[in-house]
Amino acid sequence: MPLQTEPRLADPDALYEALMQAHRALDEAASRRLDARLVLLLANHIGDMDVLRDAIALATQGDQP
């Protein structure tokens, strides 16, 4: 299964709002822990290591000098 990069969310604004709500009142460390738990939960849901490697590679491209 290839990595799906085209928009697939019916309501991306609702996802953004849910993420912002989850982070409200968290300090930076707690916010980073929440992000890490969310990434691990979603990675487990995906379950395909090739897809996850592709996602990691794509996500890190923006950090290249």
Q: Tell me whether residue 3 is exposed, middle or buried, using C-beta atoms within 10 angstroms of its C-beta: 0 to 12, 13 to 18, 19 or more.
A: middle
* Residues 17-29: tens digit of each pLDDT: 999 999 999 999 9
Question: Would you say 54 and 2 are in contact if contact means Cβ atoms under 8 Å apart?
Answer: yes
| Residue in the structure block whose two tokens are 């009142």 | 25
Q: Are 55 and 3 in contact (CB under 8 A)?
A: yes
pTM exceeds cut of 0.75: yes
DSSP label at 6?
Answer: S
Mean pLDDT over the full length of the chain:
95
